[in-house]
Amino acid sequence: MIPITEYAGRDVAVFGLGRTGLSAAKALKAGGARVHAWDDNEDTRNKAEAAGVTLSDINKRDWQTFAALVLSPGIPYRFPAPHRIVRMAEMTGVPVVGDMELFARAVQSLPERGRPKIIGITGTNGKSTTTALIGHILKQAGRDARIGGNIGTGVLDLAALHANAVYVLELSSYQLDLVKSLHCDVAVLLNMSPDHLERHGGMEGYQAAKMRIFQNQQPGDVAIVGFDDVITQSIAIGLAGQGKGRVVHASSTYSLGRGVSAIDGRLYDNQSGKAELIGNLADCPSLPGTHNHQNAAAAYAACRALGIDQQVIMAGLKSFAGLAHRLETVGEVDGVRFVNDSKATNAQAAEQALRAFRNVYWIAGGVPKAEGIAPLAPLFPNIAKAYLIGDAEDAFAATLKGKVPLQKCGTMEKAVEAALRDARGAGDEHPIVLLSPACASFDQYRDFEHRGDVFRSIVQAMMPNEIKVMA
């Protein structure tokens, strides 16, 4: 835990008691603050209390006594309208901060020589994989890497601040909205496409939130920017013009004059102006597809910025095991490989998976998003057959009819059985059964993790016992 001493002896309101709210409440208490923690949801309050957090209904408190409101990033701050708790804070002049801002101020309060390094990673897609990948490489290189933020462990639950540590932090746009003081020695922006627009008042607000990752960078810092979409291309050029720090481009599409490229699966370092072949990403089984190759290029650039040897980085890329529910291989039955991409809750995310493979036996469906799967039409030739489940079954069948062979299965169990039967009998070389639903999960599952776990358990139940033990 990172104790927050800034508010020692003062009253602080904490609203929203999910993962980040709980860690903030505990860190503030450990630092000597009088914490008033609350959540509108009774179940969440009960869980918080069971976790050792003392509840205090801030709706009934005198807000003039609060030194700050620590707001969970999941609660609307500005758009589509400020939450009533935010309005209450503003009416009484109480500053609104997030857990990441508390962390940033704690780092800022240290003497210069005692500050750890901070690598921040954001983007519309790929930030969790890239964060985990950077952390893995740094650990393999013997560095004290602490991984958290929007992935896994809340930032204030990470081990206490230490000058030799490297904090590798995934940063969502919601978290960045509440950040003013964060200084990233290495800041990574992978890509940018429309997402969470209702929470940011449109694309301009969403982009402004993402750009906060660079706001406190100084000469000597490094900004790594994906160069594979027009928005980030423009951002990269603009940052270079500001001259705050060194800007490194990362691409899996373009052979860059200066930067890091992953072209046709080969990783090149051209930061010196002379291209060096670092290695073949085909040797990195947990990083399939061009989107993961961009993640690898960005991770390579981030680790090089901290002085990690090129071949140590390449070895880390090869040994990376990947993340659960993100193009995760969960088993193989009679030569048929099963890939769990349950995290793909919309068409844009499923697109990355369908680009990564050919001749796919695709399991899709759940609670559909507004765009459905029509945007995936250019990738329909990659699909050998679709197996449809959940609420989206009929709508997806209508979109696919006449373009892709399909079967309405209703449930995951039936879809896996049918996909295995067809893939096994087709005679394809290295057939893939891919769960990449392009849908939310709430019609049949608690969340995408639950959905992916069910898929994994079904597959592993089909595997021979001696292989299950190895898996």
Tell me what the mean pLDDT of segment 382-388 comes to. 97
Could you report the per-residue pLDDT of 268-311, keeping only the tens digit for each?
A: 999 988 899 999 999 998 999 899 999 999 999 999 999 999 99
| Radius of gyration of the chain measured on its C-alpha atoms | 23
Average model confidence (pLDDT) across the chain: 94
Phi, psi dihedral angles at 338 (to 5 degrees)? -110, 125
**pLDDT number for residue 227:** 95
**pLDDT number for residue 465:** 65
**pLDDT number for residue 370:** 85
Name residue 12's beta-bridge partners: 35, 68
Name the residue with tokens 């087709």.
Answer: 426
Nearest 10 degrees: Cα torsion 88, 91, 97, 98: 20
Distance CA 442, CA 440 (A): 6
Token readout for 336 is: 């048929």
Could you report the per-residue pLDDT of 191-223, keeping only the tens digit for each?
A: 998 878 889 999 999 999 999 999 999 999 999
Q: Are 471 and 461 in contact (CB under 8 A)?
A: no
Nearest 10 degrees: Cα torsion 418, 421, 423, 429: 160
Where are the alpha helices (H) located in 247-385, listed in sequence order?
Answer: 290-305, 310-319, 347-356
Least confident of 21-25, 124-128, 299-303, 436-440: 124-128
Could you report the per-residue pLDDT of 142-175, keeping only the tens digit for each?
A: 999 999 999 989 999 999 999 999 999 999 999 9
Please state, in angstroms and as integers, the Cα–Cα distance from residue 221 to each residue in 119, 186, 224, 456, following that order: 10, 6, 10, 42
Tell me what the mean pLDDT of segment 109-137 comes to. 95
Residue 326, pLDDT > 60, answer: yes
Q: Are 300 and 265 in contact (CB under 8 A)?
A: no
**pLDDT number for residue 427:** 84
Q: Count CB-CB contacts under 10 A for residue 149.
A: 26
**pLDDT number for residue 287:** 94
Tell me what the mean pLDDT of segment 2-29 comes to. 97
Q: Sign of the CA dihedral 28, 33, 36, 42? A: positive
**pLDDT number for residue 471:** 44
**pLDDT number for residue 253:** 93
Q: Are 36 and 56 in contact (CB under 8 A)?
A: yes
Q: How confident is the model at residue 87 (pLDDT cuts 50, 70, 90)?
A: very high
Where are the alpha helices (H) located in 212-336, listed in sequence order?
Answer: 230-242, 290-305, 310-319
Distance CA 79, CA 58 (A): 22
Tell me what the mean pLDDT of segment 314-318 comes to. 98
| pTM score, whole prediction | 0.88
Q: How confident is the model at residue 376 (pLDDT cuts 50, 70, 90)?
A: very high
Residue 413, pLDDT > 50, answer: yes
Residue 468, pLDDT > 80, answer: no
Q: Are 138 and 118 in contact (CB under 8 A)?
A: no
Q: Count CB-CB contacts under 10 A for residue 216.
A: 17
Name residues whose C-beta falls within 8 Å of residue 210's C-beta, 6 or more positions apart in sequence.
Answer: 122, 123, 173, 176, 189, 192
**pLDDT number for residue 466:** 46
**pLDDT number for residue 469:** 38
Q: Are 349 and 327 in contact (CB under 8 A)?
A: no
**pLDDT number for residue 373:** 97
Residue 121, pLDDT > 60, answer: yes
**pLDDT number for residue 96:** 98
Tell me what the mean pLDDT of segment 35-49 comes to. 96
Residue 467, pLDDT > 80, answer: no
Q: Count CB-CB contacts under 10 A for residue 221.
A: 18
Burial of 36-56, coded b for 16+ CB within 10 Å and e otherwise, reads bbbbeeeebbeebeeeebebb
Residue 178, pLDDT > 90, answer: yes
